[in-house]
Every structure is written in C-alpha cells, then in structure tokens.
C-alpha cells in the first residue's frame, strides 16, 4: 500500500523543520513542504494546525494526525514508519532510551541556545554584546558535550546513523558566522558533521529546502525543484561568497548522484 504524502509546514532557513524533512528523506516517506510566512503563523488557518504559531507542524493523511513541535514529530515518524529500525532502535533497548535522551538534549539544549546566538547576532534591534557572548559560549558548551560523547565513535548512539544525528545537524549549518574553528576546538564534532552531511538524504534536504532561501531570497522561498543536481552544484561552486560548508555539501551531493546511478 502506497503512502499519501505527509504535509510539512516550514519556513525557509528555520532549522527545526529540516530535521523533520531529513527523517522523511531517510525513510523514503513522501511529503509536501509548505512554506508559511512569519506573519501567517500567528493567524488562521495555520493557528488551527499549531496554536503556538510556530513551525514545523505536520499533517499525516495516512493516520489522520496533526502534530507540532519538532521533537514530537521526529519521535512520531520513527515510531510509526521505521518498523525496521533503519534510523532508530528496538523499543526497550538501551540505545532506544539513549536516542530519546539525545533528542531531548537537542530540543532543550542545542536549539534554544544556538537560536538565541543567531537572534542577538543578526536580528535584535540593538547590539547587546553580553548576550552575544553568552550564547556563543553556550554553542561552545553544547559542542563540548557532543565532542566528549563522540570520542572514539562515529555516531551519537550505537554504531549507526540515527534520527538523533540528523536532529543536531541543521543548527550547526548556521553557526559558521561565529568564527568557531570546529576542527580545532571540537575535532570529534567536525568529523561527525562531515560524515553525516555526506549522506544523500541529508544533502538533498539541505540543497532543496535551505539553500534556495540563501541564494534566491526574492523567489518566495520556493525550492529548486527544476534545477538538476549537477546544475545546483555548479551554481553553488561558482559563488565565492559561499564558504567551505558548501563544498562539503556538494561533495555529498556527488555521492548521492553516484549512489543513484549505481542503484539504477
């Protein structure tokens, strides 16, 4: 029985919807990504979907459920659709509980602090250096926790990629502006990020759902649904303003293209 597409409500470069889309891509679940502009989040019809007026939210026609809060959505998706534990773990196992532990840390620890660092650095009406310093220090603190946890390991839980690894990635894609040398200060995190970013599903999510908002901000945030993989990479490699992270992602896209051809 084929699945009906799940509707994912998001907004451009906002990182929290990405982890939901990454999980959908990893599990090959069809979905539709609907963009909600900020003013529309706090009024109908979106407030009927999420009374908190934030993204992400999902509507799943296969189970007739509407959910909001990214962590709850991720848990729902793996509980409902990952019966083979492709990116999750057997219920009741130690890894099952460890994964929930790390997801809760991401939601309560990484997301809020990273988000505040970006807010006070880029969007606050006045420069408050003490706030900027505080939250950049929190980025370092959270990264140090991950760095210790990843010592001698490739992934956060068990010996395989899981939904927890995906959950942490999106915020890290926005922190290059703070001048933190990840390879020098947090080498285990840097190696882990590179490994995770090379996954085809992660690369696809980044290229099709985030980069268009950076490169084409006046295109209403519409995904590059008509730009081929190689064409997109050519565009990004040709823009000198795009930093090293794009090279990593484009290299990952090459891996995705190769895997697609080999699987054809």
Question: For the whole prediction, is pTM greater than 0.85?
Answer: no
Question: Residue 148 corresponds to which tokens in the numbers above?
Answer: 């210790």
Query: Tokens 């490739």 map to which residue?
Result: 154
- Comparing 135 with 257, which gets the higher pLDDT? 135
Confidence label for 252 from pLDDT (cuts 50, 70 and 90): low
Confidence label for 38 from pLDDT (cuts 50, 70 and 90): confident
Q: Tell me: the pLDDT tens digits for 214-244?
A: 555 444 444 433 333 333 343 333 333 334 4
The domain spans of the chain are 6-81, 94-180, 200-264
> What is the per-residue pLDDT for 179?
83
Residues 6+ apart with CB under 8 A from 245: 173, 176
> What is the per-residue pLDDT for 246?
52
Its sign, for the CA torsion 255, 256, 261, 264, is positive
> What is the per-residue pLDDT for 178?
81
Q: 103 near 118, Cβ under 8 Å?
A: no
> What is the per-residue pLDDT for 219?
41
Q: Measured between alpha carbons, how far is 264 from 107 in angstroms, rounded to an integer? A: 38
> What is the per-residue pLDDT for 210?
62
- Selected from 3.40.50.10110, 1.20.1050.10, 2.60.40.10, 3.40.50.1820, the CATH number assigned to the domain covering 94-180 reads 1.20.1050.10
Per the prediction, the chain carries an average pLDDT of 84
> What is the per-residue pLDDT for 67?
99
**Percentage of the residues of the chain whose pLDDT score is greater than 90:** 62
Q: Tell me: the pLDDT tens digits for 42-69?
A: 999 999 999 999 999 999 999 999 999 9
Largest CA distance in the chain: 55
> What is the per-residue pLDDT for 209?
64
Q: Measured between alpha carbons, how far is 148 from 138 in angstroms, rounded to an integer? A: 15
Q: Tell me: the pLDDT tens digits for 139-198?
A: 999 999 999 999 999 999 999 999 999 999 999 887 777 888 999 999 999 999 999 999
- Comparing 255 with 78, which gets the higher pLDDT? 78
Question: Residue 253 corresponds to which tokens in the numbers above?
Answer: 């896209």
Statement: residue 259 has pLDDT above 80: no
Q: Measured between alpha carbons, how far is 178 from 166 in angstroms, rounded to an integer? A: 22
Q: 171 near 210, Cβ under 8 Å?
A: no
The topology (CATH level 3) of 6-81 is Glutaredoxin (3.40.30)
Q: Measured between alpha carbons, how far is 1 from 61 in angstroms, rounded to an integer? A: 14
Q: Tell me: the pLDDT tens digits for 69-125?
A: 999 999 999 999 999 999 999 999 999 999 999 999 999 999 988 988 888 888 889
> What is the per-residue pLDDT for 211?
63
């Amino acid at each position: 029985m084929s699945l009906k597409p799940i509707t994912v409500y998001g907004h451009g470069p906002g990182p929290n919807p990405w982890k939901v889309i990454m999980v959908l891509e990893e599990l090959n679940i069809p979905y539709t990504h609907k963009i909600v502009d900020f003013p529309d989040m706090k009024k109908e019809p979106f407030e009927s979907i999420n009374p908190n007026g934030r993204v992400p939210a999902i509507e799943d026609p296969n189970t007739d459920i509407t959910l909001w809060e990214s962590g709850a959505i991720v848990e729902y998706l793996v509980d409902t659709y990952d019966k083979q534990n492709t990116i999750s773990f057997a219920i009741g196992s130690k890894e099952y509980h460890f994964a929930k532990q790390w997801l809760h840390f991401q939601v309560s620890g990484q997301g809020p602090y990273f988000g505040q660092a970006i807010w006070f650095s880029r969007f606050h009406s006045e420069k408050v250096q003490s706030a900027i310093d505080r939250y950049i220090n929190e980025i370092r603190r959270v990264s140090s926790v991950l760095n210790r946890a990843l010592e001698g390991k490739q992934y956060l839980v068990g010996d395989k990629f899981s939904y927890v690894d995906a959950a942490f990635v999106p915020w890290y894609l926005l922190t290059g502006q703070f001048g933190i040398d990840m390879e020098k200060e947090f080498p285990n995190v840097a190696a882990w990020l590179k490994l995770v970013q090379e996954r085809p599903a992660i690369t696809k999510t980044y290229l099709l759902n985030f980069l268009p908002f950076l490169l084409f901000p006046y295109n209403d945030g519409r995904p590059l649904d008509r730009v081929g993989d190689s064409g997109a990479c050519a565009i990004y490699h040709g823009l000198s303003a795009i930093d090293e992270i794009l090279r990593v992602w484009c290299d990952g896209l090459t891996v995705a293209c190769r895997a697609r051809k080999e699987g054809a």
